Amino acid sequence: MYTQRKTSLPFEIQAELALIRPSIHARRANIVVKFQDLYGFTVEGNVDDVNILNDVREKMREQGKVWWAMEASKGANWYLQTYASSVALTSSLRFSVLVNAMTLKKLIRKGIPPVLRPKVWFSLSGAAKKKSTVPDSYYDDLTSAVQDRVTPATKQIDHDLPRTFPGHPWLDTPEGHAAVRRVLVGYSFRDSDVGYCQGLNYVAALLLLVMKTEEEAFWMLAVLLEDVLVNDCYTDNLSGCHVEQRVFQDLLTQKCPRLSAHLEALGFDVSLVATEWFLCLFSKSLPSETTMRVWDVLFYEGAKILFNVALAIFKLKEEELLMTHHVGDAIKIIQNTTHHLFDPDDLLTVAFDKISFMTTNLSKQRKKQETAVMAELDQRLRRLNTSKLSVIS
């Protein structure tokens, strides 16, 4: 039985970001090469993709120097003081606090260095505060108490474990499966309304790769589901996810009216691609280092960033999508685009600089769509119950 849940997990992020060097033959022939990314995933790409990843790693090194300089001048946990001050003084921000808050936001949008990511996420997301409200033994007590319990949630988790990033050098091992299972089963008993929903396995797996301990990964999942994302995204009827997709469709119509009209004429529904995006938080769609950059902002700025990123993907390929004649062609373009977004800045520059909307408007749109979604789900349930009664009679 695995008991040392507060010790470091066996998968370690390399402190030094080594450059990827394909063979001379591969460079000359421009053939597809395979290599491991920073988080251990096998990536397939050509030499151009390798060059992009090397550039990204160089930018990450430079960004790391900025963070180290901030720590040297302001202290190791300067961002905690900045965050606390900005939260406490929202009504009357001092200029110095405002400047520090803007600096922190800018730095996070440019990427948190991988070695700092665990403690920055844990602190700024609210996970540390949430953990502090319960006894230190909470996670160990919870996982020990439920380890032999069998529920529909645990059965589904066991079914999904082998399909969670197959081939990964740690996640796809008995030890990796056990760690993911403990986190997911533990949370399914913490919040029985959510229990377990497919998609959370990918989220929990990536959290385990980033965070230093299994327990921290559990609390990151908790703060994500309880505070960061909108309610009911992962409940049985996925009502929250349906609401987010309706809102996304509205935003796409506002920001890319020509593209939205074209896709509608094709019979393309955004749920064909966006369901996975919103349930897995892009963890199955984007390269891992790009996903982490999205999550950097998600844990600091909130769920609105998911709309920015989703819109940016469509915006990046707007002209190409306008040339499509079939739904399948549009899906292929989008999936190919997401799988090869190795440079996070290509995506996030569009997401932040070309896509903007008011958070207040977002709240209004959610309320509007929530009413429509709940009415539709209720009607669907009534039809289902009527059909069951007809069969019985």
Residue 34: per-residue pLDDT: 84
207 and 283 fall within a common domain: no
Average pLDDT, the chain: 87
Average pLDDT over residues 32-61: 87
Same domain for 67 and 137, yes or no, is: no
Q: Amino acid letter at 114?
A: P
For the domain that residue 180 is a member of, what is the CATH number? 1.10.8.270
Same domain, yes or no, for 255 and 333?
yes
pLDDT at 8: 64
pLDDT of residue 384: 66
Mean pLDDT, to the nearest integer, of 131-159?
A: 96
Q: Among the listed ranges 8-12, 17-21, 346-350, which one has the minimum average pLDDT value? A: 17-21
In a domain, residue 18? The reply is no
Q: Whole-angstrom Cα distance, residue 381 to residue 377? A: 6
pLDDT at 389 over 60: no
46 confidence band (pLDDT: 50, 70, 90): confident
* C-alpha dist (Å) from residue 387 to 144, 239, 380, 381: 43, 22, 11, 10
Same-domain pairing of 277 and 219: no
Residue of 169 and 47 predicted with greater confidence? 169
388 domain residue, yes or no: no
Q: Is the pLDDT of residue 21 over 90?
A: no
Query: What CATH number corresponds to the domain at position 338?
Result: 1.10.472.80
pLDDT of residue 85: 55
Burial zone of 163 (CB within 10 Å; 0-12 exposed, 13-18 middle, 19+ buried)? exposed
pLDDT for 119 equals 93
CB 310 within 8 A of CB 347: no
Last residue within a domain, chosen from 228, 257, 281: 228
* Whether residue 315 sits in one domain with residue 258: yes
Q: Integer distance in angstroms from the first to the last C-alpha of the chain?
A: 51
Count of domains for the chain:
3
CA angle 80, 86, 91 (to 5 degrees): 160
**370 is a domain residue:** no
> What pLDDT does 28 receive?
47
State the Cα–Cα distance between residues 272 and 278, nearest whole angstrom: 11
Res. 391: pLDDT tops 60: no
pLDDT category at 4 given cuts 50, 70, 90 is very low
Separation between Cα atoms, residue 204 and residue 241, nearest integer Å: 18
Residue 124 structure tokens: 């700024």
Question: What is the domain range of residue 149?
Answer: 126-228
Range in 48-62, 93-107, 161-175, 197-211 the model is least confident about? 93-107
- The answer as to whether 77 is a domain residue is yes
The tokens for 266 are 């094709």
Q: What is the pLDDT of residues 313-354, one digit of tens each?
A: 999 999 999 999 999 999 999 999 999 999 999 999 999 998
Residue bearing tokens 């730095």: 107
Answer yes or no: is 287 within a domain. Answer: yes
Q: Mean pLDDT over residues 382-388, rounded?
A: 65
Rounded mean pLDDT, 81-109 = 67
With the C-alpha atoms ordered 380, 383, 389, 392, is the resulting torsion angle positive or negative? negative
pLDDT at 13: 60
259/357 same-domain check: yes
Co-location of 219 and 190 in the same domain: yes
pLDDT score, position 159: 97
How does pLDDT run across 163-172, given as a tens digit for each residue?
999 999 999 9
Res 87: pLDDT: 56
192 and 272 inside one domain? no
Q: Has residue 89 got a pLDDT over 60? A: no
Q: Please check whether residue 374 lies inside any domain of the structure.
A: no
Q: Looking at the domain assignment, is residue 190 inside a domain?
A: yes
Res 94 pLDDT > 80: no
pLDDT digits (tens, 9 = 90+) for 189-248: 999 889 999 999 999 999 999 998 999 999 999 999 999 998 888 888 888 888 899 999
Residue 11 domain-assigned (yes or no) = no
Higher-confidence residue: 91 or 167?
Answer: 167
- Residue by residue, what is the 3-state secondary structure of the chain? CCCCCCCCCCCCCCCCCCCCCCCHHHHHHCCCEEEECCCCCEEEECHHHHHHHHHHHHHHHHHHHHHHHHHHHHCCCHHHHHHHHHHHCCCCCCHHHHHHHHHHHHHHHHCCCCCCHHHHHHHHCCHHHHHCCCCCCHHHHHHHHHCCCCCHHHHHHHHHHHHCCCCCCCCCCHHHHHHHHHHHHHHHHHCCCCCCCCCHHHHHHHHHHHCCCHHHHHHHHHHHHHHHCCCCCCCCCCHHHHHHHHHHHHHHHHHCHHHHHHHHHHCCCCHHHHHHHHHHCCCCCCCHHHHHHHHHHHHHHCCHHHHHHHHHHHHHCHHHHHCCCCHHHHHHHHHHHHHCCCCHHHHHHHHHHCCCCCHHHHHHHHHHHHHHHHHHHHHHHHHHHHHHHHHHC
Same domain, 216 and 264: no
Predicted local confidence at residue 32, as pLDDT = 78
**Are residues 203 and 111 part of one domain?**
no
Q: Are residues 111 and 136 in the same domain?
A: no
Residues 130 and 110 in one domain: no
Contact 39/199 with Cβ under 8 angstroms? no
